[in-house]
Structure 1
Amino acid sequence: MTLRSSKSLALAGTCSALALAAFASPAMAQDDAAPQEAEEQSGVSTIIVTAQRREESVQDVPIAISAFNQETLEQRGIGTALEVAQFVPNLVGLNNTGLGTANAYYLRGIGNTESIATFDPPIGTYVDDIYLSRQNANNLSFFDVERVEVLRGPQGTLFGRNTTGGAVNVFLAEPGDEVAGYAEIGYGSYDRKLARASIDIPLAETFAIKLSGYWQNDDGWAKNVITGERTNENDGWGVRLGLRGELSDTARWTGSYIHTYADSANLLNFDCDPLAAQELNIPDDCDGRFVATGMTENGNFTNAFLGDLLTGRKNDFGLGNQTRMNFVSSNFEFELSPEWSVNIISGFVDIGQKFALDFADGRGLPSTSNPIPPVIGFTYGGFTIANDGEHTQYTQEIKLNGSLGDGLIDLVGGVYYFKEENRTDFGDIFSLPIVFPLPDGYPLLLADRVINNEAEAWAGYVQADVNVTDQLTLTAGIRYTDEEKTFDIRDNRNRLGGNLCIGPGQFGPSTCIDTANLSVNVTPRDAAGNPTGPAAPVAIPSKQSVGVWTPRFAINYDVSDDVLLFASATRGFKSGGWNARGTAPAELLPFAPEKAWSYEAGFKSTLFDRLLQLNVTAFWLDVGGLQTPSAFTRADGSLAFITRNFADYRNKGIEVELTAAPADGFNLFAAIGYQDDKYRLDSDAAPFDEYGIKSVGRQLSDCRAQLALGLIPNTSGADNAPDCGVGIVSPLGELAEPVRTPDWTVALGGSYDVEFGDFTFTPAMNASWRSKSEVGTSEVTLYDGDVLGPNSGNTYPANTIGLGDFIDPLSGSFSDDRWIVNASVTLSNVAGWSLVAECKNCFDEEAIESALANYGYLNSPRTWTLRAKFDF
């Protein structure tokens, strides 16, 4: 290794300490041959990004952005979109409960774990500028990726709707001018096998294609102690055809077709065998992860006594989650003049998803009456959702880039069209330990329905950068979006006449869940919330429309060629929707759009002759009408879902990103994010809304009154304090902590190239830490202290008010602080061969990532992989 200067000698000894002390994050060193690098040079290289819809150095963009190129993705072992989240300050990424193919991102506190199509994610995912509206299949496998950009904060001007928290932009590698590519195979824990390959094929001087693919299969890292099957696998395959045509000196075209299939579950699992824990004659087993549902991969929902429990294809689904996606993109770029160009960007996405998932581990849900439900292994699961979904979307954009006044004003603008159609056929089954012999139990059908919903949006946008001087730039941009959504639902159960429906296992007829029946009985009240008359039906709308302006203002000042100061104010909005998981017509309530203003100030710097990059951003985020999904256990033990615009939200914090290259082959990075957030209530809000739902302020006051009477949250009957531990009100009668917003997130690591002859040996390590947080909206966690019911005289063996100790780390919504460490060693040679040994979560740290109905969901356990790769 050759040191470049005395500055390198000084930095080599101090950068490690600086990385640990400053904890900043990456715009990591680029591969010298990577197409997005501006020029070959030593030190920290600059990545070219398109965060402002034109090519710019990441250090020149007045936006908080983390960028990762091919080399960085490989160094850190990033193989999926979810794994990027470990390295971005104030970003928490997780699989949705049950769904290994769906990512939920929480960025600066803004996120959403709901994947049903009447909800939209607030962190937009884009592939080659094509928006993916559904979370169902956004855990993309990176087998042909040039770079990833994570934009923090609202991006409502240039990227539009559903980016109140930010955007994750994935850019695929273009076909090259020469025959080149790679082939890779690997083997790892849980009998994991993988293969990846890509080849560039120039078919003419002006036209080339890229063929790429991947395949992976494993046994799954959780063992089902009831059926003997293994689950929580990550199987799948995908192929891509990339195309690039240089149509003329002033016109070029790029396009892609991608097909992917993924079979990946994220079932509730335990770190010790729950069956062994309750059987005295079975020794404890805490070596691995365990599942106790009676559902099987090859099962179905046909009962010997009741017949088919569900209608349609989903009745034959077995335990698991599968998605397939077809993705088509096209981008024509025409140079109109040396200063102006236009892009015509088209996209089509078709996603299908099939799953049958047990969210109660084949038994009951934990409660204060039954905090550790016994293992039963219900054949149809404890609480099961079977889903058959089809989702298609089409997008069309015309984007114009150029400059006016001999470079005085740089402009980007365009028009955008979005059309989405969704069909979701799904049913809910809740098993009761009655009537039929176990393990079938009594499968109670809560609902079986088909939802058809559509969204159509038009938008126009423009942003102007006024270069006042060579150093000072003023930016103003605005976008107008006109959107309409429609919602239609039909009950699949047998019709009994009128508006009554009944299905297998159902206790008597109930009102059909149909669009025509969407209403809720609301009692009229005065300004204080007192009843003034009898209840009357209020219709639930099946259409929502919104027209909204989302401006952006920024100022940036180049102190020098190496230091940029910036400040900005940006607005964003997220579409409204419907609470479609309700199991009765009156539960299918709409919720309104959420709207955000974000204010940022910071600097970006490249120091010590490019040996160090240091970027710092401070932010203040105000969100109006935050959409918050919440789930709770009903008195009958079944699971209920509710999503409302419960409150406004404020978050403020700071993010620091650092990258250092003190010597050739020596790369360090660190990252830190701090945030301080809270819900905010409207003191003028009416005590009840138009659908008879209490405001959070009224709920808080009612909860406190119930606690003063000695009632107990999250119990049942006359003892229960019904307004406590529900929604965003904690069991103690306080506003709950916002979910998945740890005060601190930290990432740090590095790599070091040791060259000997034709070989290079590269050890690499990274670690991510986040402080404690809540992952359930109501802060419901079970404790083992007995409490006496004030009215019934019953003794409850558990409570949610903090008496005693945690019953089990998985019985609630509290997530403790944790470190996750990943490491790898790579041996490569100049002939193109490389061997990699890597581990992820190397110390097998366990952490709760999510919670649903008092069950906590753990992160993935330790895994290891050996890979061999050949670049040609």
Structure 2
Amino acid sequence: MIFKRYFAMASVSAIALGSFIGAPGLALAQAAPAATEPTGIETIIVTARKREESSQDVPASLSTVRGDALTTLTSGGADMNAFSARVPSLVVESSFGRTFPRFYLRGLGNSDFDLNASQPVSLIYDDVVYENPVLKGFPVFDVARIEVLRGPQGTLFGRNTPAGIVKFDSVKPSQKSSGYAKGGLRSYGGYDAEGAVGGAISDTVSFRVSALLTGQDDWITNTGPLAQKKLGGLDDSAIRAQLRIQPNDQLDVLLNAHARKLDGSSQIFRANVITKGQRGLNANYVADRVSYDQGAGNRQELETKGVTAHISYDFGYLTLTSVTGYETLSFYGRGDIDGGVAEVGPGFIPFSSDTADGVDDHEQFSQEVRLSSNGDTQLSWQIGTYLFQEDLSIYSLAFFSPTGVFSDARQTQNTDSWALFGSLTYKPTDRLALTGGLRYTDDSKDLVARGGIADIAPISKSVSDEAWSWDLSATYEANEAVNFYTRAARGYRAPSIQGRILFGSAVTTAKSEFVTSYEAGVKAFAFERTLRADFNVFTMNIEDQQFTAIGGAGNFNQLLNAKEGKASGFEAEVQWLPTPNLSFAGSLSYNKTEINDANLTVGACGAPCTIQNPLVGGNAKIDGNSFPNAPEWIANVSAKYTKPFGNGHEFFVLTDWAYKGETYFTLYKSIEYSEDGYWEGGLRVGATLFDNKYEIAAYGRNITDEERLVGGIDFNNLTGFTNAPRVWGIEVRVKF
């Protein structure tokens, strides 16, 4: 057991913490009183560098999602895919529906659908990395803010962060009693309930419990022979319980227990909704109709559980912090991969493909201990150590018929990683801050694969590496409203193993990936803080870029390294308050990505698609192609208008729109497995009553009912899957 294996290490950390607490002669410094907040656009406090500071002082491309934007994007039973294209350079997509989101920043991501896939964008939830891709779909509720950090973040954060991180910070317990209850109904028999309550238990102990329940009726009719005639429904629930113990001004202990349970439909794959030689959906696509012959239902079941202990002790001139995390999950998902019925279609389907994937054993343990200086002094620093361990057992099944299995592939993977890191900031003047960070990481993975269509005897593969990652940055405060920054950073992604042998016999590996990034930008307020604007330009070079070749006639995954990848572009964000009752926000990003490897080829067009790359021995040359799921242009814009009425009441209307540009879904270029750029919009109208204690709202998501491809399966026919349909709903919230 992982927990037992690292119990001794955690005990040592606790003993060390106790020793520091008991050490004599440590004077405590009083924090300076906070400055009065200027009027206009508020200062956003973030923890992007593991200390609270203004986002304007962070020398990196950084976005936050909070407040109205967070409420809007999480309405309508939304999952992680709702955040795609909502901040610069961010794309989120999934072939697993709600359970396995894949994140891309500045074009860097991983389209691998296997359950041990590594990703170059790391998710950090309450200071704990969620490494397994199924963990990354944990619902967003009672969250104070989301921080999206673009570019390598490998000095201070976890592991596998060469593209950046998406960081979630839950609302923490406090001595002040607070809470809310929210409920709503929406299209397709959907319902949502969410709430939180917290406050003081005693003068030194506080708590907060929050929960989410969301569901949807089966709304898709199956016209095939499957006994299950209705699909598309789900029940998803999650809970988080936090206990905060603050016996004095120095010690802060935050305990967090959380869990999730999901029972619902898998991703809805649709056969031959693409026409050869054309881009986009054809007449075979009908949103509420499919034809499946799969025998046990298009279902997925997921349970996750975890605990986190965040302990800090403030000695006045420095703080000692320990973050311990333990996560476990079980998962089963089965889907009709060909998206139709071989005998009846739609279109020509050579044979049926009915597969399932699952996790029958998973444990993740992580431990971070760090020391950091306190206060806004001329010299500040952080040093620490990090340990990560994961045991994972996964399986993949392919079915002859409703009950018979003809291929059963099993994988077990053990991952061990440890790191030492440090960061130092020096301010030679009041306006200039120079920062340097360094991290040493040691990674190893061991995988055993067996079974599959060839009934392979156990095959063992191991990969390991050690690497340095670093960053150098400078921030110059031109005046109180304008900061300039520049940053250089090198990130690292550990080597990977892929043993998905359901339809093949190859166990493949990929070498470590290294990203070197340079960026420069400006963050500014203007017009008496009624305008905020952030802008940066960047360029990145990726050595031995890890990719996954997916699909083709063999329908298996294969890891590979491209000799080089390049990405460059810009990111801009604007927030404007022309009047106290009217606000606008928007962003625009451009990402030019390119694979540079003259000798690299991949299998292509297992389905009858049109390859736009040169062929060598039947394979497609991908040199010069953009990265998969990496649109060049991403934009969004939102506006909110409020109108007070009565005594403490306010009417509001809010609209938001996001644009994702032309996107290729695969490593090779084809007309069929791509999509044109398109906008998706939302609307929210309602009123807050009695000084924001109550709120009632009506909303719509995808209000223009865009029907677009967001991915495809290149196997035996032109199968695709689409964006979420239009949803209308009502919602009521009470604060207390």
TM superposition score normalised by structure 2: 0.87
The answer for the alignment partner of 1:765 in structure 2 is 655
Offset at residue 181 of structure 1 (A) = 0.8
The amino acid of 1:612's aligned partner reads L
SS in 2 for 1:73: helix
SS in 2 for 1:138: helix
The answer for the alignment partner of 1:615 in structure 2 is 534
Offset at residue 665 of structure 1 (A) = 3.3
CA, structure 1 residues 271+680, in 2 after alignment: closer, same or farther (shift >3 Å)? closer
The answer for the alignment partner of 1:328 in structure 2 is 307
Q: Is residue 653 from structure 1 mapped to residue 569 from structure 2 by the alignment?
A: yes
Question: Quick one: distance in 1 between partners of 2:616 and 2:699?
Answer: 49
The answer for the alignment partner of 2:165 in structure 1 is 167
Q: Is residue 568 from structure 1 mapped to residue 487 from structure 2 by the alignment?
A: yes
CA, structure 1 residues 428+474, in 2 after alignment: closer, same or farther (shift >3 Å)? same
CA, structure 1 residues 713+341, in 2 after alignment: closer, same or farther (shift >3 Å)? closer
Question: Which of the numbers 437, 443, 448 marks the counterpart of 1:477?
Answer: 437
User: What is the 5 A alignment of 1:387-466?
Assistant: 387-402=358-373, 407-429=377-399, 440=401, 445=406, 447-466=407-426
The answer for the alignment partner of 1:348 in structure 2 is 326
Question: Quick one: distance in 2 between partners of 1:257 and 1:115?
Answer: 28
- CA RMSD, 1 decimal: 3.0
Question: Which of the numbers 542, 567, 581 marks the counterpart of 1:665?
Answer: 581
The amino acid of 2:538's aligned partner reads F
The answer for the alignment partner of 2:688 in structure 1 is 828
The answer for the alignment partner of 2:23 in structure 1 is none
The amino acid of 2:369's aligned partner reads I
Q: Is residue 81 from structure 1 mapped to residue 80 from structure 2 by the alignment?
A: yes
The answer for the alignment partner of 2:20 in structure 1 is none
Question: Quick one: distance in 2 between partners of 1:117 and 1:87?
Answer: 26
Question: Quick one: distance in 1 between partners of 2:374 and 2:195?
Answer: 41
Q: Deviations over 1:399-445 (max 9, x none)?
A: 211169x922110121111111101122234x5xxxxxxxx599772
The amino acid of 1:512's aligned partner reads I
The amino acid of 1:737's aligned partner reads S
Contact 2:331 2:359 in 1 (8 A): yes
The answer for the alignment partner of 1:706 in structure 2 is none
Q: Is residue 859 from structure 1 mapped to residue 719 from structure 2 by the alignment?
A: no
The answer for the alignment partner of 2:465 in structure 1 is 546
The amino acid of 1:257's aligned partner reads A
Contact 1:272 1:289 in 2 (8 A): no
Offset at residue 101 of structure 1 (A) = 1.4
CA, structure 1 residues 627+725, in 2 after alignment: closer, same or farther (shift >3 Å)? farther
The answer for the alignment partner of 2:277 in structure 1 is none
Offset at residue 585 of structure 1 (A) = 7.2
SS in 1 for 2:556: strand
CA, structure 1 residues 364+620, in 2 after alignment: closer, same or farther (shift >3 Å)? farther
Runs of 5+ unmatched residues, structure 1: 1-36, 275-283, 300-317, 432-439, 494-505, 516-540, 684-694, 704-711, 782-811
The amino acid of 1:351's aligned partner reads L
Question: Which of the numbers 432, 435, 456 marks the counterpart of 1:512?
Answer: 456
Q: Deviations over 1:672-692 (max 9, x none)?
A: 0011111112x7xxxxxxxxx
The answer for the alignment partner of 2:279 in structure 1 is none
Offset at residue 655 of structure 1 (A) = 0.3
Question: Which of the numbers 695, 700, 705 marks the counterpart of 1:839?
Answer: 700
The amino acid of 2:575's aligned partner reads T
Q: Is residue 44 from structure 1 mapped to residue 41 from structure 2 by the alignment?
A: yes
Offset at residue 122 of structure 1 (A) = 1.0
Question: Quick one: distance in 1 between partners of 2:405 and 2:234?
Answer: 31
The answer for the alignment partner of 1:251 in structure 2 is 251
The answer for the alignment partner of 1:746 in structure 2 is 635
The amino acid of 2:71's aligned partner reads E
Question: Quick one: distance in 1 between partners of 2:606 and 2:145?
Answer: 49
SS in 2 for 1:736: coil
The amino acid of 1:349's aligned partner reads E
Higher alpha-carbon Rg? 1
Question: Quick one: distance in 2 between partners of 1:846 and 1:258?
Answer: 35
Question: Which of the numbers 621, 630, 651 marks the counterpart of 1:729?
Answer: 621
Contact 1:245 1:253 in 2 (8 A): yes
The answer for the alignment partner of 2:16 in structure 1 is none
Question: Quick one: distance in 2 between partners of 1:855 and 1:736?
Answer: 22
Q: Higher strand fraction: Structure 1 or Structure 2?
A: 2
Moved more, 463-472 or 265-274: 265-274
Runs of 5+ unmatched residues, structure 2: 1-33, 275-282
Question: Which of the numbers 769, 772, 777 marks the counterpart of 2:667?
Answer: 777
Contact 1:100 1:264 in 2 (8 A): no
The answer for the alignment partner of 1:503 in structure 2 is none
The answer for the alignment partner of 1:385 in structure 2 is 356
Question: Quick one: distance in 2 between partners of 1:286 and 1:649?
Answer: 36
The amino acid of 2:449's aligned partner reads I
SS in 2 for 1:59: helix
Offset at residue 465 of structure 1 (A) = 0.7
Offset at residue 38 of structure 1 (A) = 7.4
Q: Deviations over 1:183-229 (max 9, x none)?
A: 11111111001211111131101111111111111114533222463
Moved more, 586-595 or 128-137: 586-595
Question: Quick one: distance in 1 between partners of 2:346 and 2:594?
Answer: 32
Offset at residue 866 of structure 1 (A) = 0.8
Contact 2:548 2:558 in 1 (8 A): yes
Offset at residue 137 of structure 1 (A) = 3.2
Offset at residue 41 of structure 1 (A) = 4.6
CA, structure 1 residues 419+442, in 2 after alignment: closer, same or farther (shift >3 Å)? closer
Contact 1:776 1:852 in 2 (8 A): no
SS in 2 for 1:102: coil
Q: Deviations over 1:32-73 (max 9, x none)?
A: xxxxx9755531111110111111101111110101223431
Offset at residue 386 of structure 1 (A) = 3.7
Contact 2:106 2:567 in 1 (8 A): yes
Offset at residue 616 of structure 1 (A) = 0.3
Identity over aligned pairs, percent: 22
The amino acid of 2:372's aligned partner reads N
Question: Which of the numbers 626, 647, 661 marks the counterpart of 2:545?
Answer: 626
Offset at residue 109 of structure 1 (A) = 0.9
Contact 1:474 1:555 in 2 (8 A): yes
Contact 2:340 2:346 in 1 (8 A): no
The amino acid of 1:334's aligned partner reads Y
SS in 2 for 1:255: strand
The answer for the alignment partner of 1:93 in structure 2 is 92
The answer for the alignment partner of 1:54 in structure 2 is 51
Moved more, 859-868 or 735-744: 735-744
Tell me the matched-pair count: 683
Offset at residue 273 of structure 1 (A) = 9.4
CA, structure 1 residues 725+124, in 2 after alignment: closer, same or farther (shift >3 Å)? farther
